[in-house]
C-alpha cells in the first residue's frame, strides 16, 4: 500500500518561534507538510513563507477556511491562545497550540470540551518532555534506579527575557509571567516523571516591577515575576518549584528528583538535549550514557500528533496533559499559602 499523504499543516502566528517549528517540521516530510503561513500581520507570514519556501500566505480566516488544511498550529502570544484555538476547532481543524494551552483553566476546559464534541484532537507544547534526556530520566525512575521518588526540585530563575525577545511586553502582563511562560517545561517534565499532581501551595510577588527591554523601552510588570511553591503529587512526592524573571544568576539545578535510593539530575527541560546525572545513595554523581533514538526539536509534537492521527492512536503531547499542567500553574498563581507571622522579629539585633 502506498504511504498516505502527509498531514497538511497551517501555522497561525509567524513571529519569533515560527522559524523553529518550520525547521523541525521540514525534517519530517513523510508525516507533515506545511502548506500555509498565516498571521494577522500578513507581512510576517510572507517573510516566514519566503524563508522556508511555503506555498501559501494567508490571513487567519483564510487559513481556517482552507479545506485542504488538517492541523492548525497556534503560535500566537499566550493571551490570544484560547480565542484563536477555539476558532481553529470551530473551523473543524485539529489543533496544536504553543504553551500555555490557555491562560485560565476555565478557557482550557472549554477548548477540550469543544474538541471533544467535534471529534477533533488537541495537542499542546511543550513537547520537550518527549526528548531524549527526559525520557531517559523517566526510564531510570521506572526501572527503580533511585528507588521510590519522594521529592523533587525545579527552578527557572533568569532575567534574560527582556534582553533577547523582540516583543517582550507580553511576558510581563497577565497571561505571561514566569509561571505560565516557563512553568510548562518544568511542570510537564515533573508530571512525566512523577505522575499527576494533587495540590499546590505557593507565594508570589512582583519583586522587580520595572526593567528595560532590549530596545530600551520600559517594561512594567503587572503580573507576579517571582513565584515559589510546593506541588504535592498523587504519589505522595513533594516538589519545590521556583519560577522567576527576577534573578540574574544562579547555581540552582534545573530539575532534580530525589528517591529513597538515590537522586537524578536533569538538564534544562526547554533545550531537548543535555546529560542526565544519577547518583545512588552514598555514591558519586555520574552522567548516564547519551540517550539513543530520535533527536527531536521544538515542533516535534505536531509531527507526533500527525503520526498518531494516521495510526489512530492517542498522541503524547496531549491537551489533557497541558490542561493538567495549566491547573497546576493556575493553582500556583491563585494560592496564597497560609503566612505564619513571626513573633520574634523585633527586637532582633544582628551584629555585623
Ligand X SMILES: NC(=O)c1ccc[n+]([C@@H]2O[C@H](COP(=O)([O-])OP(=O)(O)OC[C@H]3O[C@@H](n4cnc5c(N)ncnc54)[C@H](O)[C@@H]3O)[C@@H](O)[C@H]2O)c1
264 to each of 16, 257, 275, 283, 291, how far by Cα in Å? 33, 5, 11, 12, 15
Candidates 5, 30, 41, 144: give the one binding ligand X (CB under 6 A): 41
Residues between 113 and 172 that touch ligand X (CB under 6 A): 165-167
Q: Given the C-alpha cell 494551552, which residue does it identify?
A: 101
- Candidates 11, 72, 75, 276: give the one binding ligand X (CB under 6 A): 75
What is the total count of residues that contact ligand X (CB under 6 A)?
A: 23
H-state helical runs in 54-169: 60-65, 78-90, 105-118, 132-142, 161-164
Stretch that binds ligand X, among 38-46, 88-96, 132-140, 307-315 (CB under 6 A): 38-46
Among 6, 60, 175, 262, binds ligand X (CB under 6 A): 60
In terms of phi and psi (left: phi > 0; alpha: psi -120 to 50; beta: otherwise), the region of 191 is alpha
Applying CB under 6 A, among 26, 47, 80, 151 the residue interacting with ligand X is: 80
Interface positions, 225-284, toward ligand X (CB under 6 A): none
Task: For residue 134, give every residue at least 6 positions away whose Cβ sits within 8 Å of its Cβ, in sequence order, or none.
Answer: 128, 189, 192, 193, 266, 269
Residue number of the CB atom closest to ligand X: 15
Of 66, 98, 127, 304, which lies in the binding site for ligand X, with binding defined by CB under 6 A? 98
Near ligand X by CB under 6 A: residue from 7, 11, 14, 247: 14
Per CB under 6 A, the segment of 25-33, 76-84, 149-157, 249-257 that binds ligand X is: 76-84
| Residue with grid cell 467535534, as numbered in its chain | 118
Taking the C-alpha atoms of residue 332 and residue 156, their distance in angstroms, rounded to an integer, is: 14
Least distance to ligand X from the beta carbon of 282, Å? 39
Which CB atom, from 71 or from 237, has the smaller least distance to ligand X?
71
According to the binding rule CB under 6 A, does residue 76 interact with ligand X?
yes
Residue 303 within binding range of ligand X, rule CB under 6 A: no
Closest distance between ligand X and the C-beta of residue 118, in Å? 20
The reply to whether omega before 350 is within 30° of 0 (cis) is: no
Answer for which of 11, 12, 187, 333 binds ligand X (CB under 6 A) is 12
Asked whether position 15 contacts ligand X by CB under 6 A, the answer is yes
* Other CB atoms within 10 Å distance of the CB of residue 66: 18
**Stretch of residues binding ligand X (CB under 6 A), selected from 35-43, 113-121, 205-213, 277-285:** 35-43
Could you tell me the smallest distance in angstroms from the CB atom of residue 307 to ligand X? 22
> If binding is defined by CB under 6 A, does position 16 make contact with ligand X?
yes
Nearest to ligand X of 75, 221 (CB atom): 75
Out of 23, 26, 27, 40, the only residue in the binding site for ligand X (CB under 6 A) is: 40
> Least CB distance from residue 63 to ligand X, whole Å?
9
Nearer to ligand X, 233 or 245 (CB): 245
User: Does the protein bind ligand X through residue 39 (CB under 6 A)?
Assistant: yes
Q: What is the helix (H) or strand (E) element at residue 205, kind and residue range?
A: strand 197-205
Whole-number Å distance between alpha carbons of 161 and 248:
11
Q: How far is the CB of 13 from ligand X (least distance, A)?
A: 3
Residue 33 and residue 7 in contact, taking contact as beta carbons nearer than 8 Å: yes
Separation of alpha carbons 140 and 224, rounded Å: 35
Cα(220)–Cα(173) distance, integer angstroms = 8
Quickly list DSSP for 78-111.
HHHHHHHHHHHHHTT-EEEEPSSS-SSHHHHHHH
19 contacts ligand X (rule: CB under 6 A):
no
Nearest to 70 by CA among 240, 346, 309, 250: 309
Q: Which residues contact 349 (CB under 8 A, 6 or more apart)?
A: none
Residue ranges in contact with ligand X by CB under 6 A = 12-17, 39-41, 44, 60, 75-78, 80, 84, 98-99, 165-167, 181
Amino acid at each position: 500500500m502506498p504511504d498516505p499523504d502527509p498531514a497538511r499543516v497551517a501555522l497561525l502566528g509567524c513571529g519569533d518561534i515560527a522559524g523553529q517549528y518550520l525547521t523541525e517540521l521540514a525534517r519530517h516530510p513523510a508525516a507533515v507538510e506545511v502548506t500555509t503561513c498565516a498571521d494577522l500581520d500578513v507581512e510576517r507570514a510572507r517573510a516566514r513563507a519566503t524563508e522556508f519556501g511555503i506555498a501559501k500566505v494567508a490571513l487567519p480566516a483564510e487559513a481556517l477556511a482552507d479545506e485542504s488544511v488538517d492541523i492548525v498550529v497556534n503560535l500566537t502570544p499566550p493571551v490570544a491562545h484560547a480565542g484563536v484555538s477555539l476558532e481553529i476547532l470551530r473551523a473543524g481543524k485539529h489543533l496544536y497550540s504553543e504553551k500555555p494551552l490557555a491562560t485560565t483553566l476555565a478557557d482550557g476546559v472549554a477548548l477540550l470540551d469543544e474538541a471533544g464534541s467535534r471529534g477533533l484532537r488537541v495537542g499542546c507544547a511543550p513537547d520537550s518532555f518527549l526528548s531524549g534526556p527526559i525520557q531517559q530520566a523517566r526510564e531510570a525512575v521506572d526501572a527503580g534506579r533511585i528507588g521510590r521518588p519522594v521529592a523533587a526540585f525545579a527552578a527557572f530563575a533568569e532575567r534574560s527575557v527582556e534582553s533577547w525577545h523582540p516583543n517582550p511586553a507580553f511576558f510581563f502582563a497577565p497571561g505571561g509571567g514566569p509561571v505560565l511562560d516557563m512553568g510548562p517545561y518544568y511542570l510537564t517534565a515533573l508530571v512525566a516523571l512523577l505522575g499527576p499532581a494533587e495540590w499546590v501551595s505557593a507565594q508570589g510577588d512582583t519583586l522587580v516591577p520595572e526593567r528595560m527591554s532590549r530596545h530600551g523601552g520600559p517594561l512594567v510588570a503587572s503580573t507576579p515575576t517571582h513565584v515559589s511553591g510546593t506541588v504535592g503529587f498523587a504519589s505522595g512526592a513533594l516538589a519545590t518549584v521556583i519560577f522567576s524573571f527576577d534573578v540574574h544568576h544562579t547555581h540552582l539545578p534545573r530539575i532534580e528528583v530525589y528517591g529513597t535510593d538515590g537522586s537524578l539530575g536533569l538538564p534544562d527541560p526547554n533545550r531537548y538535549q543535555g546529560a542526565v546525572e544519577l547518583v545512588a545513595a552514598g555514591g558519586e554523581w555520574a552522567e548516564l550514557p547519551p540517550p539513543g533514538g530520535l533527536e527531536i526539536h521544538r515542533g516535534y509534537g505536531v509531527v507526533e500528533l500527525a503520526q498518531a492521527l494516521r495510526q489512530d492512536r492517542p498522541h503524547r503531547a496531549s491537551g489533557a496533559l497541558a490542561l493538567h499542567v495549566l491547573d497546576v500553574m493556575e493553582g500556583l498563581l491563585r494560592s496564597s499559602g497560609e503566612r505564619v507571622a513571626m513573633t520574634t522579629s523585633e527586637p532582633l539585633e544582628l551584629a555585623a
